[in-house]
Structure 1
Amino acid sequence: MAQEGAVYTHGHHASVVQDHARRTAQDSAAFLIPHIKPNHRILDVGCGPGTITADLAALVPQGSVIGGDAVESVLQQASAFASSRDLTNITFQKIDANNLPFPDNTFDIVYCHQVLQHVKDPVQILKEMRRVAKPSGIIAAREADYRSFAWYPELPEITRWADLYQQVAKTNGGEPNAGRYCHVWARQAGFEPSQIEATWDCWSWNGRILQSGFLGTAVKEGFATEDEIKGISEAWRRWGEDDDVFIAIPSGQILCRKG
């Protein structure tokens, strides 16, 4: 079976995981929440530190949630977080989303957040998510679209970062503009147009380019020097100190029904 061939651009430095740990179901899965029932069985693919996963578990007191990720260290953090909230209907396990270790027709909802942009074959991931969903079950995904970012002040270093990110993410095997492709990937994964609901939302984000996979690939591939990356990081810091700072990060969302 297929295994993941892409490199995770952000890496798993503590600064990245801490950013992810601020996410909630309310700010990252609001489009999905109205469809969740108290007895649902949910799979969260690429759950990271588990804060969204834990929120989903709290919404299904008569159901259960499994959080799956490829990195053991973040799964340990996710399990500890769930324990701190006294959630007993949630478990975590190591997975490769290209080959989910679950039988067909297992889950009422299969969800992933900011995962498809980092994988080699997003269609294969969606096919696997569709396979393990029950008939009439929901497959949902939310993905940023980096070409659609808007920010102020428009520092030249940040514009340079945006161009570099496109190079780095694609070199790592991902698609940084995944938001605009989600509905197309869903079609390619076997969903009919009538089974796909595509929407957009925005959220906020903090840069963490010095301690991530971004720096390593940018320097290794000759896209930028380490000094230039440090200069871009410093520009992000200055940008964040401006009283008039603004950033909009559009994300594409798909909610698909398995026929």
Structure 2
Amino acid sequence: MPFYPSAHSDAVLRTHKSRSAEACAAPLLLLLKPTDTLLDIGCGPGSITTGFAPFCARVTGVEHPSAASVLVQARQDAEQLGLKDKVVYVEADALALPFDDQSFDVAYCNQARPFLLVLQHVPDPVGVLREMHRVARRLVFAREADRGTFAHWPLTPEITRFDELWTQVARAGGGEPYAARRLKSWALLAGARPDEVRVTTAGETPDPREWGATFAERTVTGGFADKAKELGLASEDELRGIGEAWREWGEKEDAWFGYLQGEMLITKQRS
């Protein structure tokens, strides 16, 4: 089973529920047609999924069966928004989607949403893209961060150590945290033609206070902490110290954090 370092802690859910289609899929929104059907892979709590609804005819969110609990809230939210008939959720493995070829106009996935289906957290990102390419008639869009571009200020030994640990833990679970730079390569291996693929970048500058508080919690609870201790990479005391360093960093007046997102669009050519 794929491994998501943050698991589904409260901190992760708060972060992911705040995401929107406008923030996480702006280039794609410009290309959507009112008649489009869209598949959202790794939909998590559905805040991005429901955000697609005004732009297309029908949206299907897919999440791994191990994360079925998050879909309960996603379905409730869709109903409260009056989107019960336009937004549906399905439990499925992204490596074996239960849909026929070209079942959707558009297939989409976005980095690091709960829980297990996005590209940087699966051992076979090419397989996921192959499935997305198979079920899409028109467009495939994937958005992934690249941990190699993460930049913090001020620098602290504890946060530098956290970055080292995160990379080790993610790769031990079969993931690839330096995902954005590999998107085009993965797409070509998945069967896309070179002239179909375009990868651009977009910057992210999260609020340091929120980022520090979130990672203070992620460092000591959930999948990352458990895996780091299981692998013998860090002790509970060290993780607690790193978590406190994150919290202190977020409170500093000169704190800043930024990184690059890779945004890949595959425009399928009709044969």
The two structures share one fold, judged by TM-score above 0.5:
yes
Equivalent-residue separation in structure 2 for 1:53 and 1:239 (angstroms): 33
**Runs of 4+ displaced beyond 4 Å:** none
The alignment status of 1:43 with 2:4, answered yes or no, reads no
Equivalent-residue separation in structure 2 for 1:8 and 1:232 (angstroms): 20
Q: Give the Å deviation of 1:209.
A: 2.3
Q: C-alpha deviations, 1:15-56, integer Å up to 9, x for none?
A: 211111010011111121111111110000000000000000
Match of 2:109, SS state, is strand
Equivalent-residue separation in structure 2 for 1:80 and 1:239 (angstroms): 37
Equivalent-residue separation in structure 2 for 1:9 and 1:29 (angstroms): 23
Equivalent-residue separation in structure 2 for 1:86 and 1:153 (angstroms): 45
Identity of aligned residues (%): 43
The alignment status of 1:107 with 2:104, answered yes or no, reads yes
Structure 1 stretch 89-98 or stretch 76-85: which is displaced more?
76-85
Matches within 5 A, 1:35-114: 35-60=31-56, 63-70=57-64, 71-87=67-83, 88-114=85-111
2:123 partner letter? K
The alignment status of 1:163 with 2:140, answered yes or no, reads no
* Aligned residue in 2 for 1:258: 268
Match of 1:220 among 230, 238, 247: 230
Return the structure number with greater helix share. 2
Point out where structure 2 has 5 or more consecutive residues left out of the alignment.
112-117
Q: Give the Å deviation of 1:142.
A: 0.4
Q: Give the Å deviation of 1:177.
A: 0.7
Equivalent-residue separation in structure 2 for 1:165 and 1:35 (angstroms): 35
Count matched residues: 251
Q: C-alpha deviations, 1:63-118, integer Å up to 9, x for none?
A: 10000001101111211221222113000011100000101111111000011000
Match of 2:250 among 240, 244, 259: 240
Structure 1 stretch 108-117 or stretch 84-93: which is displaced more?
84-93
Equivalent-residue separation in structure 1 for 2:222 and 2:267 (angstroms): 35
Matches within 5 A, 1:188-207: 188-203=189-204, 204=206, 205=211, 206-207=214-215
Q: TM-score of the superposition, structure 2-length normalised?
A: 0.90
Equivalent-residue separation in structure 2 for 1:121 and 1:99 (angstroms): 12
1:180 partner letter? R
Q: Give the Å deviation of 1:230.
A: 1.0
Q: TM-score of the superposition, structure 1-length normalised?
A: 0.94
Match of 2:38, SS state, is strand
Point out where structure 1 has 5 or more consecutive residues left out of the alignment.
none
